[in-house]
Chains A and B, each alone.
Chain A
Amino acid sequence: MSYKKQIFTLIKQELRQAFRTKNIYLVILVMPLFLWGLQSGIMYFTSETIDSGYEGKDLYFLNTDEGNTTTNLGEEINQVLSLLTTMNESQMYKVNVIDLSSILYHDINSDGIYDLIKENDYSPLVFIPNNFTSLYSSFNVSDGEVLIPEVSVYYLPADNYFGMAIKNTIDGIVYAPPFTMVSYEKVTSTKIEMVTFEGEENAESMIGFITFLSVMLALIAPASYVTASFAGEREKKTMESLLVLPMKRIDILIGKLIAGSFLAVLFSAVNLIGVAFFSFTVNSSTVLSDDAGFELSPAIYLMIFVVMLFTSFAALGLGISISSLMSDQKTAETTYMLTMILPINIVGLIVLLQGVPETLSWLYLIPWTHSMAVMNKGVFPKTYANSSLTGSVTLDIVFHLGVLLIFVIISMVVASKIFDREGVVSN
């Protein structure tokens, strides 16, 4: 009988046991699907309530438009908006539009607006600049220089969804008569901006969240298999009977690793189903889809899959080392989780900071930082173009994947050394 067959039997034995273990299903199937389902549910129900309207809410309107001799377009927007508040089918139905124009802030600059909003709680606020009509009238695509007249929607973080709904409404107004742009000769745009308080910048994006949850899951997932397969076998002394087989130790390790990798692949695939469901929920919600919505291309799915795989391989290596040092499964599980808390926190921090700041570049010593970097740079190549490490975002991604791969290799080598110690046979 060939040597390969012995390893194959070991893999079969490992997987048979794994698939008869409730915990493994919990981690591989239930955890990702449940978490993503939960997130989707939260997104869906919050947006449902939002979609149902904003009756009774206050909307502030500040028109500083000076108009021209015949018209004041800012005022026209105000009128359409007021009309919409009386229309049952509008999202703005029964919203109180409070016109701040009488208080007159004609020379207000952006800082002034932020203070105005923060101090008086004028949120959300629709702002029309003083040159809106004149820019609009003089605007001509054929001119070289293009200044686009712009309506701004400001809001405080608490009015997140209301702000987005207003932006959608204003979009609807400026794309309809009298602002119609049949030939695209005339253009207006709506800008939306969250006004945040210092130190409370809400930097989390949907993708950041997806990345975080995926990497976190990839770090936790290998725990129950790897601790059962190494510390569990030591605890039950079955490890000894494995080690006295006419098989090299490294081949026993490889067999167990292949079984673990199979589970990691399965888990990463299940996670993708969760991500797809989540993005579907977000995108099918009318309120969220415009700004929070995101396109997840097949390339991005592939990337999430690859990053998760690398991440869980490295976690597998770490798990083998820990489990080969601990004499029982419970201790190994606890130690594994404690070891993972720090990196998970750091991954969370990176989401919050939207990348690794230059002053914190030592964070790159933590391998999962590279998992995050691959995801961030892959999804927002433009954002990260200026801050790329190697000069190109593509090269950066290759670099980060390379570092992850090196870490995977190192963690496996360390694991095999620890597994090779006499101490693996314990009293």
Chain B
Amino acid sequence: MNAIEVRDLRKEFKEITALDDVTLRIKEGEVFGLLGPNGAGKTTLIRVLVGLIKASSGEAKVFNLDVNENIMEIRKRVSLLPQDCQTYEKLTAFENIFYYGQMHGTLSDEDLRKRTNDLIDLIGLRGRENDLTKHFSGGMKRKVLVARAVVMDPDLIFLDEPTTGIDVLGARTVRKLIKELAGMKKTIILTTHDLNEVAELCDRVGILVSGELVAIGTPKELEEKFKQANLEDVFVALSTGEEG
């Protein structure tokens, strides 16, 4: 079954065409990498899929439900880590994660408490869980945010640049967490500018350039199709139009 089904999706902001007739399918359980240069429309696509903004035209379905009609049903199974999102600095790590789960409202307090504690162990913040996140490093905050995005045990997780701006070790923990989620058959949509990360984590990738989906497939397929040695060369070739 498809987790996401998008057909001829368009989004225009005044003169800017952020999404230019995008058509794409993502299966349940897939880890899908959304690539593209700055301003390509990655965040916009995610926002349409979670109902934060409305598409100008086209169709978008999540778990076979139309985003314009059944967004509340969709949101019960979906979660998002927004790009550049920060923690609530005046809340502790535990509160950041636990309250978000409570507001999501799909799990009991008991389950949430257990999951929050498990996640704190998983991201290596045991012992710091009752500290305000104000005092955390950038990497620690990001780990809290990823934990926060998965605490309600969603089936589909959008991670908009979860490893951007943190150090190697922090990024590694986040990747480890993503792998674990993938192992649990969660569908994950990941945007990133790190192509090694994509190669490591993603089953398939889609490359957006100026709102257009210019390529889609497994990393291997794309290398073969565009006759490039690696994914980075494919990316450069597609986003600039020149040979790598």
Contact = CB atoms under 8 A, between A and B. Distances in A.
A237 B83 contact: yes
Contact of B105 (A17, A21, A246, A425): A246
Nearest to B75: A246
B100 A241 contact: yes
B72 interface: yes
A285 to B, nearest CB: 43
Contacts of A244: 50-52, 75, 78-80
A245 B106 CA distance: 10
A243 B52 CA distance: 7
B2 interface: no
A250 to B, nearest CB: 13
Q: Which of B51, B54, B87, B90 has the most CB of A within 10 A?
A: B90
A13 B85 contact: no
Nearest to B81: A241
Contacts, number: 85
A9 B106 contact: no
A9 B148 CA distance: 15
B72 A246 contact: yes
Interface in A17-36: 17, 20-21
Contacts of A13: 88, 91, 95, 99, 103
B122 interface: no
A329 to B, nearest CB: 12
A9 B102 contact: yes
B104 interface: yes
A242 B47 CA distance: 13
Contact of A238 (B53, B79, B83, B88): B88
B103 A245 contact: yes
Q: Which of A10, A245, A246 has the most CB of B within 10 A?
A: A246
A240 interface: yes
Contacts of A10: 103
Interface residues of A, number: 27
Interface string A240-266: 111111111000000000000000000
A259 to B, nearest CB: 13
A241 B88 CA distance: 11
B181 interface: no
A361 B81 CA distance: 53
A20 B85 CA distance: 21
A3 B85 contact: no
Given A237-B82, A237-B86, A425-B53, A246 B76 contact: yes
Interface string A80-113: 0000000000000000000000000000000000
B88 to A, nearest CB: 6
A422 B83 CA distance: 17
A1 interface: yes
Q: Which of B72, B75, B82, B91 has the most CB of A within 10 A?
A: B82
B84 interface: yes
A169 interface: no
A21 B82 contact: no
Contacts of B108: 1
A12 interface: yes
A24 B106 CA distance: 33
A5 interface: yes
Contacts of A243: 52
Contacts of A196: none
Interface in A37-93: none
Interface of A: 1, 3, 5-6, 9-10, 12-13, 16-17, 20-21, 236-238, 240-248, 422, 425, 427
19 contacts: A1-B102, A1-B107, A1-B109, A5-B102, A6-B102, A6-B104, A13-B95, A13-B99, A16-B90, A237-B86, A238-B88, A240-B52, A240-B82, A244-B50, A245-B75, A246-B76, A247-B103, A247-B105, A422-B53
Given A237-B82, A241-B80, A241-B82, 17 more contacts: A1-B102, A6-B102, A9-B103, A12-B99, A13-B99, A16-B90, A16-B95, A20-B90, A21-B90, A237-B85, A240-B82, A240-B85, A241-B149, A244-B79, A247-B103, A425-B47, A427-B43
Q: Which 10 A-B pairs have the closest CB atoms?
A: A246-B75, A240-B82, A17-B90, A236-B86, A9-B102, A237-B85, A20-B90, A6-B105, A244-B50, A244-B80
